[in-house]
Amino acid sequence: MRDDTHFDLAIIGGGVVGCAIARQLTLDGARVILLEKGHDILSGASKANSAILHTGYDAPQDSLELSCIQAGYAEYMEIHKRLNLPLLKTGAFVVAWNSQEQSRLDGIVAQAHRNGVTDVTLLTDEALRAAVPGLSDTAVAGVQVPGEHVIDPWSAPLAYLLQAMANGAQVRLGAEVTDGILHNGTWTLDTSRGAVRARCVINAAGLFGDIVEARLLDRHDFEIRPTKGQFVVLDKAARRHLSSIILPVPSAETKGIVLCPTIFGNVLVGPTAEPQTDRTRATVEGDTLLNLRERAAQIMPVMAEMPVTACYAGLRPATEQKAYRIKLHGDRNWISVGGIRSTGLSAALGIARHVAGLHAEMGDRLVPIPDPVWPQVPNLAEHRPRDWQNPGHGKMLCHCELVTQREVEAALVGPLPAGTLGGLKRRTRATMGRCQGFYCTGKLAALLQGHLQEPMDKGMVKR
Amino acid sequence: MNDGASQAAEEHDVIVVGAGPAGLSAAIALREEGITRVCVLDRESEAGGNPRHCAHPPFGMREYNRVLTGPTYARRMVAQARQVGIDIRVNHSVARIGEGGVLHVVHPEGVQQMRADRVILATGARETPRAARLVSGLRPLGVLTTGALQNMVNLNNLIPFRAPVIVGSELVSFSAVLTCRHAGIQPRMMIEEAPRITAWAASRALPGILGIPVLTGCRLERIVGDTQVEAVVLRLANGVEQQVACDGVLFTGQFTPEAALARMGHLALCLETGGPLIDQHGRCSDPSYFATGNMLRPVETAGWCFDEGRRIGKAVARDLSGGLPDTSDAIAVTVEPPIKYAVPQRILPGMKNRPLEKLQLRVLEVTHGELRVEQGGALLWHRRGHFLPERRILIPLAALQMTGTSPLTVTLRPG
C-alpha cells in the first residue's frame, strides 16, 4: 500500500526544473511528490521562453550553469526519442552588426572552445551571407554555432513529469505551500490542498523561490528580481526564410533580441529584458512589440512582410547575481534551486542530475527503478508526423495549427490533464495559430466545458 | 511526412476550396456552364461560410430578392448547390496546395491527394485578432473577435462575457452588437480610434445602437485582468486616460484574407490586400489557380462575394475550353497611400470580356481629393470626391484605355 502523505522528497514548483527533478529522483528510486500552486504545470517562468536547446558555448566558464547546460543537452539527446520529444538542429549564428561588435567575435569563439564547444567557428561576412540567405546586408561578420537546436518547450517538461508519474511520483496541483516545519528529520508542509510530509524539500519555486524560503526557512540567501521578456511570433510563412537561430553579440546586460525558428513552424523574435518587481503579471506593450517586429525586419528584411501571429511576455526568475543559486542546506533537509534565469529549458535535465547528487550527500540511499516506464507524449512539432495525418482523428478543431478533436480530447484526460486554457494550448497548440481563435473558439469552448478551472465561457445563452 | 502521396490523386475538373457565398456560387456557375466534375471542399462541419453564424438580417437581397438571416441564407445557398449536383465535402481541410492544381487534403479518414484542372480558392476573410493589433496589457480570458463570439453564441449557445467593450465601428461591429443583444450581453461601449464611425449608415439604422455609448477618437491603451478581463484603459479624444470596468474585449473588423494556403504555397501574394495576386479573371500567378470572394481583399458583403463567385466560375469554365489568353502581357496595377489596395492587381489589356468589370479600391483614411489612374504619365481616368475607409470605390475597367505594358498607377492626392 502506498503512503500518500509521506514522501522521500517534496518538490515545490512545477516548472521545467521541478518536472526534471521529479523525473530524475523518481527514476533514482525516491518517493516523490511535486507541489504546484497553479492549476496546471508550467504556470510561471516556464510558460514563456525561446525554446532553444543550448550547447553552452557562451555560458560562464567553469560555472555550474555551464555544466548543467551541457549535461542537460547530452541527456536530452539521449532520451528525447524514447519520450517522443522532438529535436530540430537549426544551428545558430551570432551576428555582428558593426565593427565594435565584430571585435568581440574572437572572444566568443575562444570562450566556446574553452567551454568544449569546439565546432564553433568565425565566419567572414561572405561566409555568413552564404550560410544565412536573406540576412540583412548590414551584417558585418558572424560566428557559427552548429550545435544549437530548437525543441518543444512545453512537451519536454510535460514528458519529464509524466515519466515521473508513470514510475510512481505524485503531483498535487493548486497546492501552494504556505508553511512548513522540520521535525525529527521530516518536513511537514502545509499546502492549500492539505499537509504533505517529506524527508527532504527541493525548492524549485522559480519566481517565488525566495518567498518560499522566507516562509519555511525563515531566511533566504537569494532574492528574486523578475526580468520580463516580450516576444512576437511571426506567421508560419516566415519560417521558410529562416532556417537557423540568429543571435546578436550579447551585451553585459542581456543576450539580446533573437530571431529564432520554432519547432512548431513559426518564427519568434524576442525576448526583451525588462526588470520589474511584480512576479506574476507580464504585460505586453504595443510599442515594444512594434520594435520587436522592426528588429526582425532589420535582421532579415523579408520579415517586414510577415503578419504577426501572437505576442506574449514571460518573467525570468533572475536574482541579484547571474549565477544559478543551487545549494544543499544539509542541516535543514533542503535543497534550493533558484536563479535559473534563462537557460532552464536547456539545463533542466542537468540541474536534476546535480540536485540528485546533492540529495545523495544527505545520505539517503536510493535504489534506482530497474525497468522504468517511458511514456510517450503527443508530437506537436511541424517537421514530424502529427495526429491529423492519422485516420480517425474526429475532425479538425483548430484549422490554423491543424489540431484535431482527438488531440484536444486526449489532453483533457490521463494522469496530467490540462487544467487551464493555457495548459491546453501548450499541450495541443489549439488557438495558437494565425486566427487566434476566430474559427475555433466556439467549438473549443463547448468541448472544454467542465474541464478547466477558468472556463472559456460565462454560461449559456439566455434567449 | 505522410501526405497520402502514395495513393493516386483523386481527379476533378474543378475543385473549389471554401463553401461560403463566393465558393458555392462559383461552383453553381461552373455547373451551369456544363462542367461536370465540380467538388467543393470545406474544413468546417457545415457548409455555408461565415453567414452561418451571423444570425441576423440582411442577407440574400441581391441573390434571392428577399431579406434573410445569415444562417437561412447559408442553408439556402447550400441547398441550391446540392440541387444542381455539386459534390460538397465538409470536414475537408486543404493542408497544402501544389503546382498544377494538386491539393493535400485532410479529412477524418486521413490524408488524401486531390487534383483538378483548375482550383478556385474561396477561403474568405477573418478579423484581425488582438495579437496582430499589438495591443498592450495582460492577456486574460475574454478577449475575442466577432467571428469567435458569433461562433460561440450562435453555434454553441455559450456566452464569453456579459459586459464587454467593443473595439471598432465597422459594419461587422454592429453585427456584433446585434449578436450581443440577442444573447443577453450588454456591451459597455463601442470605441473607435478614428474621429468618426466607420459604418455610419449602420449606426443610423440602429438608433443610438440600442443604448450603447459610442466613443470616437478613442484608443484602447491596454487590457487589465489576471485571468479574466477586469477593465480596459482608454485614451479619450481629449487625451485623458480613463479606466472602464468590463469583463471582455471584443475586437471587431480589420478584416484580413484567410489566405494561408496562398501565403504558405507557391502563389504570388499582394502585400496590400494580404490575398493572392490576380488578373481580372481571378486568375493567380499559377494559372491553375483562381481566387474569389473575400480572400481577394478585405472585405465585401456576402452578396458581393456571391456575385463575384459566379463571374469567376464562368471565367474558369471559359478557361477550361481554352478561352483565356496567357498572362504574359498583363499590366500591373500599383497603388500608393492613402490608397490601401486595388484589385485586380493585373489587367490583360484589350479584352472585351471582363469577369471583374471594375477595379476595386479602398482608402486607408478619410481623404478628399482627386483619384487618378495613370499609365506612363498619361491620365486614363480621374474623379474628384470624398473617400472614406472601408467603403467600396470602383473604377470601371472599360474606361481605362491602356496601351503597351507599362504599369497603371492609381493615386489619390488630397486637396
What tens digit of pLDDT does each residue of A228-239 get? 999 999 999 999
CB B180 within 8 A of CB B148: no
Q: What is the pLDDT of residues A381-393, one digit of tens each?
A: 999 999 999 999 9
A315 chain-B contacts, CB cut-off 8 A: none
Cβ contact (<8 Å) for A283 and B137?
yes
Q: Is the pLDDT of residue A1 over 90?
A: no
Task: For residues B283 and B332, give the distance between their C-alpha atoms in angstroms, rounded to a whole number.
Answer: 14
Q: How far apart are the first and last CA of chain A?
A: 53
DSSP codes, B36-91: --EEEE-SSSSSS-GGGG--SS-B-HHHHSS-B-HHHHHHHHHHHHHHTT-EEESS
Strand partners, A172: A35
Checking B84-88 for CB contacts under 8 A at 24+ apart, the result is B84/B28, B84/B31, B84/B32, B85/B31, B86/B24, B86/B27, B86/B28, B86/B31, B86/B38, B86/B39, B86/B40, B87/B38, B87/B39, B87/B40, B88/B19, B88/B24, B88/B39, B88/B40, B88/B42, B88/B47
CA distance B330 to B310: 23
Residue B302 belongs to what H/E stretch? helix B302-320
Picking from B148, B183, B264, the nearest residue to A461 by CB comes out as B183
Determine the distance in angstroms separating the CA of B17 from the nearest CA of chain A, rounded to an integer.
Answer: 14
CB contact, 8 Å: B111 with chain A?
yes
Angle among Cα A321, A325, A328 to the nearest 5 degrees reads 150
* Domain A89-149+225-316 CATH superfamily: D-Amino Acid Oxidase, subunit A, domain 2 (3.30.9.10)
Q: What share of chain A is helix, strand, coil (3-state, %, to 5)?
A: 30, 25, 45
Q: What are phi and psi of B67, to 5 degrees?
A: -95, 115
The amino acid that residue B289 corresponds to is Y
Q: Give yes or no for residue A138 having a pLDDT over 50.
A: yes
Q: Provide the residue count of chain B.
A: 415
Measured between its terminal Cα atoms, the distance across chain B in Å is: 57
pLDDT value of residue B329 = 82
Rg (CA), chain B: 22
Instruction: Say whether domain A1-88+150-223+321-379 belongs to CATH 3.50.50.60.
Output: yes
Which secondary-structure segment (H or E) carries A355?
helix A344-361
Q: Which residues of B touch A394 (CB under 8 A)?
A: 108
Question: For each successive 10 residues of chain B (415 residues), what is the average pLDDT?
Answer: 61 98 98 97 96 88 91 96 97 96 95 97 97 97 96 94 97 92 94 92 70 93 97 97 98 97 96 97 97 97 96 97 87 96 93 86 96 96 95 94 93 94
> In this structure, are strands B331-335 and B408-414 parallel, antiparallel, or unpaired?
parallel
CATH of region B129-253, choose from 3.40.50.300, 3.20.20.70, 3.40.50.720, 3.50.50.60: 3.50.50.60
User: What's the whole-number mean pLDDT along residues A63-81?
Assistant: 98
Instruction: Identify the closest residue of chain B to A290 by CA–CA distance.
Output: B134
Radius of gyration of chain A (CA): 22
Kindly report the nearest CA distance between residue A322 and chain B, in angstroms: 28
Taking the C-alpha atoms of residue A153 and residue A54, their distance in angstroms, rounded to an integer, is 12
Question: Given this chain, do its domains B10-126+256-327 and B129-253 carry the same CATH topology?
Answer: yes
Closest CA to B131 of B249, B270, B52, B290: B249
Q: What span, in angstroms and rounded, lies between the C-alpha atoms of A395 and A406?
A: 8
Domain boundary assignment for chain B: 10-126+256-327, 129-253, 329-415
B235 grid coordinates: 485614451
Nearest by CB to B131, from A282, A436, A441: name it: A436
> With 90 as the cut, is the pLDDT of residue A4 above it?
no
Return the SS3 of B121. Answer: strand
pLDDT band at residue A253 under the 50/70/90 scheme:
confident
B10-126+256-327: CATH architecture = 3-Layer(bba) Sandwich (3.50)
Name the B residues in 389-408 with CB < 8 Å from any A CB: none
Give A390's contacts (C-beta < 8 A, 6+ positions apart): B110
CA distance A31 to A26: 6
At B352 the pLDDT is 72
Considering the entire predicted model, what is its pTM? Answer: 0.96
Q: Give the tens place of pLDDT for each residue, A197-232.
A: 999 999 999 999 999 999 999 888 899 999 999 999
Q: What is this model's ipTM?
A: 0.95
What distance in Å separates residue B385's CA from the closest CA in chain A? 31
User: What residue in B sits closest to A39 (Cα-Cα)?
Assistant: B227
* pLDDT score at B4: 45
- Report pLDDT for B5: 47
Could you tell me the sign of the dihedral formed by the alpha carbons of A101, A104, A108, A109, in that order? positive
What's the confidence (pLDDT) of residue B3?
Answer: 45
- For B114, the 3-state DSSP assignment is strand
β-bridge pairing A334-338 and A325-329: antiparallel
Domain layout of chain A by residue ranges: 1-88+150-223+321-379, 89-149+225-316, 387-448
DSSP labels, A20-46: HHHHHHHHTT--EEEEESSSSSS-SGG
DSSP, collapsed to helix, strand or coil, labels residue B329 as coil
Distance between CA atoms of B181 and A53, rounded to whole angstroms?
50
Which of B124, B22, B300 has the alpha carbon at shortest distance from A439? B124
Nearest residue on chain B to A454, alpha-carbon basis: B227
Closest B-chain CA to A393: B108
Contact assessment for residue B17 and residue B120, using Cβ atoms and an 8 Å cutoff? yes
Q: Could you tell me what percent of chain A has a pLDDT over 90?
A: 94
Work out the minimum CA distance from B170 to partner chain A, whole angstroms: 17
Report the alpha-carbon distance of residue A461 to residue B9 in Å, rounded.
45
